Structure 1
Amino acid sequence: MRQFKIAFFIFISIFIIDQIVKYGFANLGWDANGSVMSLKLAYNYGVAFSMLSFLAEYLKYIQLFIVIIGTIYLLKNRDIFYKYHIPIALLYAGGLSNILDRFTYGAVVDYFYWHYMFEFAIFNFADVMIDLAVVIIIIMQIKESRKQKNI
């Protein structure tokens, strides 16, 4: 139960922060230009690097279906949730926030634009949280694998 409370707090915090920031960019003109990175409103109708943008109208339903399948899996495998509760909370917060964007704005609201020495895709805080979740899961898996080899 403790893990659920921690995960829920992380989820709510990340989700609310992300939605407030996106609202600022989408409705309050929070754009700012910098020499290394700019904060610039962009709408992503696809997924990473605008892939699958031809599915723009259906993508939110596809992604929501994937979240539902993942949730059913976690309900049936609670030990996995308890073990990975922090990255799961980050993953759900970022993923559901981006899905909410699709319902609210018709696309995902992006705003971080790296352009020093090379141009990188425009992304948002939710994307960073999703990436962080994946990195944490990979690190946990590597540590577990090494631990099992030493036994």
Structure 2
Amino acid sequence: MNKTLLMVFIFFGIFFIDQAVKYAFVFHNWGVEGSCLSFQLAYNYGVAFSMFSFLKEYLKYIQLTLILIGIIYLYFNKEVLKEYSFSITLLLAGGLSNILDRFTYGAVVDYIYWHCGFEFAIFNLADMIINLAVAIIIYKQIWGKKEQKA
């Protein structure tokens, strides 16, 4: 299987799984209370930790614009796209899934709530995928440079 086809498969796999789970929470009342981890429906009108929620009506357009700018950048910097194709695929899948939530539900659908020892923000699969992509990029930036020097 060629790399581009694999990235398309990964993108749609993540995107559709995330959307299916969110749909189940919204329309089928999924939810489980646990001692450390709960799964409960919440709507996030802002971005991370509900920041910028005052922009809720405009965030979907701002985020789409940022993704478009990123795609234009990648078009002109194909070496970046080639080196970070997996991370970019993850970022786009998670980011576009959350943006679709804004158009579909008026906010991002969150459902994973960590509350063991401390309370953490409620998040979703797309958020975890985005964070994984950023961690991979940071790892490659730090340790990739060290390997090039050696």
TM over 0.5: yes
| CA drift at 1:2 | 3.0
**Farther off after superposition, 17-26 or 73-82:** 73-82
* 2:83 corresponds to 1:83: yes
Structure 2 equivalent of residue 41 of structure 1: 41
Structure 2 equivalent of residue 99 of structure 1: 99
Structure 1 equivalent of residue 56 of structure 2: 56
Structure 2 equivalent of residue 126 of structure 1: 126
Structure 2 equivalent of residue 141 of structure 1: 141
| CA drift at 1:64 | 0.3
Deviation string for 1:12-50 (max 9, x for gaps)?
100000000000001110011011110000000000000
| CA drift at 1:145 | 1.1
Q: Distance in 2 between matches of 1:148 and 1:11?
A: 30
* 2:68 corresponds to 1:68: yes
Q: Distance in 1 between matches of 2:26 and 2:46?
A: 17
Deviation string for 1:43-86 (max 9, x for gaps)?
00000000000000000000000000001111111111111111
Structure 1 equivalent of residue 25 of structure 2: 25
- SS where residue 60 of structure 2 aligns? helix
State whether residues 4 and 82 of structure 1, in contact with CA within 8 Å, keep that contact through their aligned partners in structure 2. Answer: no
User: How many correspondences in the alignment?
Assistant: 150
Q: CA RMSD in A?
A: 1.1
Q: Distance in 2 between matches of 1:91 and 1:111?
A: 19
Mind listing any 5+ residue stretches in structure 1 that lack a counterpart?
none
Tell me the TM-score normalised to structure 1 length: 0.96
- SS where residue 40 of structure 1 aligns? strand
State whether residues 3 and 82 of structure 1, in contact with CA within 8 Å, keep that contact through their aligned partners in structure 2. Answer: no
Report % sequence identity.
61
Q: Distance in 1 between matches of 2:5 and 2:83?
A: 14
Task: Give runs of ≥4 in structure 1 deviating > 6 Å.
Answer: none
Q: Distance in 2 between matches of 1:7 and 1:143?
A: 23
- SS where residue 119 of structure 1 aligns? coil
Q: Distance in 1 between matches of 2:89 and 2:28?
A: 28
